[in-house]
Amino acid sequence: MNETVLIHLSGPNQPGLTAVLTAILANYHACVLDIGQAVVHETLVLGLLIEIPPDNLLHLQNALVEKSSELNLQVSFKPVSKSDLEHWIYSQGKDRFIITILGRAISANHLARVSAIIEEHGLNVDRIERLSGRRSLAVHSSKSNACVELHASGNATSEASMRADFLATAHDLRIDIAFQRESIFRRNRRLFAFDMDSTLIQGEVIDELAKMAGVADKVVAITESAMRGEIEFQESFRRRVSLLRGLPEQKVHELLGTIPLVEGAEQLISTLKLLGYKTAILSGGFTFFARNLQQRLGIDYVFANELDIVDGKVSGQVKTEIVDGARKAELLRQIARKENISLEQVVAVGDGANDLPMLGIAGMGIAFRAKPIVRQTAGHAVSFLGLDSLLYLIGVRDRDFDEFLSTSLERRDSFQT
């Protein structure tokens, strides 16, 4: 029977090193059962689980020791018993999860707290990868992104309990922690659907209109109550719109372009477009503002409420179907059917109680800078970074985008030349 051996090599990284080492394995007819390699700060760590004919093992070890000495590498060999090999094979069928830590900076304390939760719930960390750019993870900036992704496996004692622990820890440490099962859909999302007010833009359009109409306090009170889920959305919407009665249409359109986008919105949307994603705004706000965003950002679908204008003034009446939570979910289903995609391939992003139905049916529902009830209910919550950080949750790394942008610029320059 063949021998099973775990080989571990570490030391300074060099071009062609993997080719040299695996060529030695090939010379002695080794079969690679598992392999993992990482380079951290120009230091290589390489692990190989191999099967090899017994007569070749000693010769392989001698050859690797000799070559490792030449390359200034450390090498070790560990025999793997039949029972350990069977355990490893069995473990390949365990559940796999991805835990993403997001923050302006990531400290050892953040990693320690998160990894402790993973261990407490019966999982083992298999791999750790940095998705953010090559800036220091410990350098804090009000606009910087830091992201570390942990891959874990095992039989979780309680996913709901683990998610709750991550949420509490994220709040305590003022970072974001996303927890998701590894699946084929994670890197195969096809549609992002956004709420508009306080999600894509920094504020509520109806609140700004209320300031113009001199009824800001009344409208804000109703808005906040609805966002907390205390008032049914349709009723709250009718109440707020009625307070806008008599506002001149000219004033309404003066609002366009005055409410800034949320941090990272343009970066997220432009990257999604480059990657071929469809995008949608499903808003309980107004179409006049949503369509302006559609033109500005290149959004594919827009559904919102019509602000009724009569004789050049806001009528205060609601004459079309209100886009509430249930309507958002139905519209999301319609778009998915039209695009011929599964709801598992949909990412929905929102901040209020009326977003929960669409967050609930999407493959990934994200509460973005949301009210407490929404953070606690949604599958994922991002509260401390901008919208562009959502790219990490679908597996996009900073260097992926940098490489794509560099290639695009090179092609453009070549074409112009």
pLDDT at 142: 61
Enter the CATH code of domain 191-398.
3.40.50.1000
Instruction: Count how many Cα atoms sit within 13 Å of the Cα of residue 184 in the half-sphere of its side chain.
Output: 1
Alpha-carbon distance of 190 to 195, in angstroms, equals 17
The correct answer on CATH 3.40.50.150 for the domain covering 3-90 is no
pLDDT of residue 412: 47
Q: How far is CA 346 from CA 139, 191, 324, 329, 361, in A?
A: 33, 5, 19, 12, 9
* 191: enclosing H helix or E strand: strand 191-194
Write down the domain spans for the chain.
3-90, 94-134+142-181, 191-398
pLDDT at 278: 97
**pLDDT tens by residue, the chain, 417 residues:** 789 999 999 999 999 999 999 999 999 999 999 898 888 888 999 999 999 999 999 999 999 999 999 999 999 999 998 888 887 776 666 788 999 999 999 999 999 999 999 999 989 998 899 999 765 555 555 678 999 999 998 887 788 899 999 999 999 999 999 999 887 777 789 999 999 999 999 999 999 999 999 999 999 899 788 767 788 888 989 999 999 999 999 999 999 989 999 999 999 999 999 999 999 999 999 999 999 999 999 999 999 999 999 999 999 998 889 999 999 999 999 999 999 999 999 999 999 889 999 999 999 999 999 988 899 899 999 999 999 999 999 988 887 766 665 555 455 455 455
Q: Which residues are catalytic?
A: 195, 197
Domains 3-90 and 191-398 share a fold: no
Q: Does domain 94-134+142-181 have CATH number 3.30.70.260?
A: yes
Element (H, E) at 350: strand 346-350
Q: What is the pTM of this model?
A: 0.82
Do residues 342 and 296 make contact, with C-beta atoms less than 8 angstroms apart?
no
Distance of alpha carbon 200 from alpha carbon 279, whole angstroms: 12
Token pair belonging to 266? 């343009």
Q: Are strands 346-350 and 364-368 parallel, antiparallel or unpaired?
A: parallel
Only one residue has tokens 């080794």, namely: 30
Kindly give the residue spans of alpha helices, DSSP state H, lying in 216-259. 216-227, 233-242, 249-254
